[in-house]
Amino acid sequence: MCSVCGGRRAAGASPIRCVGERITATGVPEFREVAWRAWYFKSLKSHRRTSMLEAFEQQSYHLHSETLLSQGIDYLKAFPELDEYTIEAADGHFIDHTCHTEKNSKGKVYAAGGIYALNLRSGLLRFLCLVTNGTQRHQEIPVLRDHIEKQNKGNNSSQKHLYVYDKAVTDFVWWDRQKRHANYMISMLKENSIATLVESIPFDSRHEINTGVEAYSVYENKGIKFNVVDYRDPETGKLHRFVTTLPMTINPGTIAMLYFKRWTIEKTFNNTKSNFKETKAWSSNTRSLENQMRLTAMSYNLMRVFEEISKTQQPELIHPSDKKYSEALEIRQQQAQKRDRFVNPLFFQARISRISSYTIRAVQNAIITGMSLQCFMSSLVARLVLPPQLIGEH
């Protein structure tokens, strides 16, 4: 039985509660059952516990990153030109406001939420900043800019940082200034963007990494130059236009693939809502909300590490979700070939998958029952299967 939250209640509770309570819990065990709800949510507002949680979040993220790297887990290893970049898919994520959220001057309340960033190299998640507690309509891009500028002031590292975001982020003037701080972006070019073609950028169209790229060009808007990739999907024939502030030396096909990988963060949010049951704010207090989102990211990362490590234990086997994805790609490839098309071969590379529901339930049950780590990991490894025999790759 979980010593913090009790057996029957924890069995139906969010995994984040189980993990979060173990992190924030202190005090006498016999009083925890009586004061569980009031004490736990009140503790989220504590400045001391917030400082502790922030430090724990940063340290655990660092340790998880080292653990995954030591196991050779790098989902961007096929793109060595990106080795000097920290690459994150960032996006806003919103949940229902808490029932006691105060209405604004117009008598309205909104969804509460913040911005998260998913590391496209490791698959780890981190909470960036709170956008709204539900008392006002969210405006995530100004909040993101404020967060990055604040980060610039306290960051003396020369590490290059690349953000992959949706088209709402394309403020060319602001991102041009960010290049001084080694901050770059990739996004989708807005359909109504007004820009002037300056010059074409040469690239190796025969290289597999640039499959589907029709043009790579420099454009200008109000004196600010940026690069645009025209990519036509070889499977569907649809044209996509991506914009970036990265140097011209980065392959245009790499830029296109990174934007497609941005979709992974939506799978992450699906995990937190469907599996973690985090669909509603725990409080309207901003500090409590920030801590809820930190605990969400920390719980996600714990389960991500368990699943990733389990996959490395028997290299000849793969996870059932990877087998399912490979089989789906094979069907897409065969259908595309009937139309004299093909799936971009880069899609056949390893990708960050959605954490399986089985892994999440297994972690939750292990916390509740006190199962040993060895037994728990053995149960995850036992689910691995032989890879499918594919014949349709391009």
Q: What percentage of the chain has pLDDT greater than the value 70?
A: 87
Nearest to 357 by CA among 273, 295, 283: 273
Determine the average pLDDT of the residues in 245-255.
97
Name the H helices within the chain.
7-11, 15-24, 29-32, 36-43, 47-70, 140-153, 172-178, 252-261, 264-270, 286-312, 320-338, 357-369, 373-381
CB 292 within 8 A of CB 281: yes
pLDDT of res. 30: 40
| Average pLDDT estimate for 245-252 | 97
The pLDDT of residue 170 is: 84
pLDDT above 80 for 285: yes
Q: What is the mean pLDDT of residues 89-93?
A: 96
pLDDT at 39: 46
- Lowest mean per-residue pLDDT among 67-76, 150-159, 193-202: 150-159
- What was the pLDDT predicted at 329? 95
Q: What is the per-residue pLDDT for 18? A: 59
Q: Mean of the pLDDT values across residues 28-47?
A: 52
What predicted TM-score, i.e. pTM, was given to this entire model? 0.89
Average pLDDT rounded to a whole number, residues 23-48: 52
DSSP secondary structure string for all residues of 240-251:
EEEEE-S-TTS-
Task: Tell me the average pLDDT of the chain.
Answer: 88
pLDDT exceeds cutoff 70 at 71: yes
Q: What is the mean pLDDT of residues 329-342?
A: 96
Instruction: Using alpha carbons, select from 266, 272, 284, 276 the residue that is nearest to residue 110.
Output: 284
The answer to whether the CB of 8 falls within 8 A of the CB of 33 is: no
Return phi, psi of residue 167, to 5°: -65, -15
Beta bridge partners of 385: 318
Please say whether the beta carbons of 212 and 253 come within 8 A.
Answer: yes
pLDDT in tens, 105-154: 788 899 999 999 999 999 999 999 999 999 888 789 999 999 999 999 87
Res 43: pLDDT: 65
pLDDT score recorded for residue 185: 97
pLDDT digits over 26-36, tens only? 444 443 443 34
Of residues 28 and 341, the one with the higher pLDDT is: 341
pLDDT over 60 (residue 3): no
Average of per-residue pLDDT across 326-331: 95
The answer on pLDDT for 12 being more than 90 is no
Instruction: Say what the pLDDT of residue 295 is.
Output: 93
CA distances from 250 to 38, 60, 204, 256, 315 (A): 53, 32, 11, 11, 31
Report the alpha-carbon distance of residue 371 to residue 150 in Å, rounded: 43
Choice between 26 and 88, residue whose per-residue pLDDT is larger: 88
Q: How confident is residue 21, by pLDDT bands cut at 50, 70 and 90?
A: low
Beta pairing, strands 85-95 & 160-164: parallel
Report the pLDDT value the prediction gives residue 157, as an integer from 0 to 100: 64
Predicted confidence (pLDDT) at residue 376 exceeds the cutoff of 70: yes
pLDDT the model gives residue 191: 85
